[in-house]
Amino acid sequence: MTELSYAHGTGTTALLGDTIGRNLDRAVAAFPEREALVDVPSGRRWTYAGFAADVDELARALMASGVAKGDRVGIWAVNCPEWVLVQYATARIGAVMVNINPAYRAHELEFVLKQAGISLLVASLAHRTSDYRALVDEVRAQCPGLRAVHYIGDPSWDELVATADEVTPDQLAAREAELSCDDPINIQYTSGTTGFPKGATLSHHNILNNGYFVGELVAYTEQDRVCLPVPFYHCFGMVMGNLGITSHGACIVIPGPSFEPAAVLRAVQQERCTSLYGVPTMFIAELNLPDFASYDLTSLRTGIMAGSPCPVEVMKRVVAEMHMDEVSICYGMTETSPVSTQTRRDDDLERRTGTVGRVMPHIEVKVVDPATGVTLERGMSGELCTRGYSVMLGYWDQPDRTAEAIDAGRWMHTGDLAVMREDGYVQIVGRIKDVIIRGGENVYPREIEEFLYRHPKIADVQVVGVPDEHYGEEVLACVIPADPADPPALDEVRAFCDGQLAHYKVPRLLQILDAFPMTVSGKVRKIELRENYRR
């Protein structure tokens, strides 16, 4: 009898029933003098005892400023220690932390402040071309619910912290005693490709357990030091990163406010990091540094590559040249806290480069026919769905959008096309919305991208469909060349594909680029590529 594309993740370790604050207390009790947080740019360091003391101080300050259980506190900042303190302090008092993309401009900021009902905002002063104070001033009149703004590195931050003495430790403990692990604790806005983003609402139980089990599968202990160049505003940074780290008594290492490849490798070398996170484009940038070989990365043993499809050739270089023999690939989405599948430490290279792993403990996944919802046989392509503790509570104040994403059986529909192999490992073959339909044939960009990564003149590639009068859509390869002075020509790319890919998959168009349009979390904006190069 043919096996269906369904898998349930079993495990010997039970789910955590803690709130985030209670779980932090466990780490502090076990490892009070071990380092919890290091900020490389400023040189600041915290032991677990010191970190918890600063978290509690900020938690009491937020209570003194009138933040009640369930109130929304916005964090609009680049990676810094204060971001982490806000994350744990809001959890301590049952406030809902709202992550705001550092790249947002005034219109987007206004939408999130209103949609989430943010009453208190913590923000950076500036980042790149953004003057955050000016942007807040621009929209504040339209956001009457926003009663207080505090800027990191500004007297307003110190003024907030100084109010902590108005609330006693006993009052903080009383607030914590009111909290349930099922309370909403975090809103993360998904980067919608059309219309405004949706606020995925997540509980302590959602994100604490997901971070914990990600850490379990890469075998974190209190000895680990994890370099996090991925943005905290995204679940990769704050869940798989911060919560995965502190739930194991390990150390968070911040290499800089935003991604800069040389700063990352310096941080790994200086802090003797054992683990490094990144999206594929980050690892590509690090590997392509002219002085890459000069960095001592021998302390690394593991890490996580996620956020977008992980090219096989890049993964092989990470293992071979960065000493990350136990590197793991994770797959997920914001709405599922985020990880649903992950490769394991003892997986062979094929599984750790050719798949996104198998189902996580305590989670179910299945692959269904997108039209009928019927579970397909293994080896067939369909939509990946996931169910379990990790599925969000819903989209904030948008029950209709929630119902579109989560069906009556509590299955989250990911919108990703996947194949579950006979061994239970999952391959992501594309997005339902990304499929190129050329002359009636379905073309999956991921397959072509993986193949073109082997071309010696190609450092990075994204494949999209653009309108064509004859075929409906045509295949466009957008390429970043390995050597800008010697980019590949279209006929070279086509010759490379000839006899290796079906004729309808071979790119008919080529665009040479210096860089791809990116989200702050490191995902390539394919929709922007499609729009830029419509013929």
Domain segments of the chain: what residues?
A: 18-32+43-180, 435-532
Domains 18-32+43-180 and 435-532 share a fold: no
What pLDDT digit, counting tens, does each position of 227-241 carry?
999 999 999 999 999
C-alpha of 51 from chain center: 24
Q: Among residues 185, 179, 212, 213, which one has the least CA distance to residue 200?
A: 185
Q: Among residues 270, 269, 237, which one has the least CA distance to residue 252?
A: 237
Structure tokens at 310: 């992980």
Q: Among residues 347, 238, 247, which one has the least CA distance to residue 302?
A: 347
Confidence (pTM): 0.87
- Report pLDDT for 521: 64
- Report pLDDT for 108: 86
- pLDDT at 394 exceeding the cut of 90: yes
How many contiguous H segments (helices) and E segments (strands) does the chain have?
A: 18, 28
- pLDDT at 501 exceeding the cut of 90: no
| pLDDT: which is higher, 92 or 472 | 92
- Report pLDDT for 493: 97
Is 202 within 8 Å of 337 (Cβ atoms)? yes
CATH number of 18-32+43-180: 3.40.50.980
- Report pLDDT for 207: 98
Lowest mean pLDDT: which of 80-94, 332-346, 421-435, 436-450?
436-450
What pLDDT digit, counting tens, does each position of 153-204 carry?
999 999 999 999 999 999 999 999 999 999 999 999 986 433 568 999 999 9
Return the bridge partners of 442, or none.
437
Residue 120, H or E segment = strand 118-123
> Measured between alpha carbons, how far is 210 from 233 in angstroms, rounded to an integer?
16
Residue 476, H or E segment = strand 472-481
Q: What is the mean pLDDT of the chain?
A: 94
- Report pLDDT for 330: 95
- Report pLDDT for 193: 39
Residue 366, H or E segment = strand 363-368
- Report pLDDT for 195: 53
- Report pLDDT for 520: 64
- Report pLDDT for 194: 39
Mean pLDDT for 273-295 is 95
* DSSP H helices in 379-459: 399-405, 445-452
435-532 folds as GMP Synthetase; Chain A, domain 3 (3.30.300)
